[in-house]
Amino acid sequence: MGEQQHVKFPQEVIDEYAALGVDLPALFSAGHLGTRMGVQILEASAERVVGTMPVEGNTQPYGLLHGGASAVLAETLGSIGSMLHGGSSKIAVGVDLNCTHHRGVRSGVVTGVATPVHRGRTTATYEIVITDESDKRVCTARLTCLLRDVNPGDEEIIRSAS
């Protein structure tokens, strides 16, 4: 996903994952879908995740930012926050995503900021606010993730993702 090495993570989180041989910037991305859509993660902690996405290439037939593109950005940011909240012993799996689209955007870059609404032992819910370059709200989303224990086969999948 571009320049992922510039993501700001809390040092204790970097240390926790490094001990497992996991590259956080590679793990906390939208994967191949995010690469195609140009999603970039700028800042990541359990308290706040910030990312951007270009409008160009992510539009619907009328030339507006596609609502599904906003959903991809929102789910990516909320999932990263949930994963960081759960720690290295948990995997975050999205179970509910709700998006309200407030205004259309035709160009530029949108920025999403995910902040926690609830952080429990088995679920985490984040509100994600997506704004345009004029700081006007484009979309408000809410994502709930199930936090499940890492199973024996999951470690290899996590390592190979990074």
- Which positions are annotated as active-site residues? 75
CA angle 4, 150, 94 (to 5 degrees): 65
DSSP 106-162: -SSEEEEEEEEEEE-SSEEEEEEEEE-TT--EEEEEEEEEEEEEPPTTHHHHHHHH-
SS3 category, 31: helix
SS3 category, 49: strand
Structure tokens belonging to residue 50: 């910030």
Q: Cα–Cα distances in Å, from 65 out to 19, 30, 102, 136, 149?
A: 40, 18, 11, 14, 36
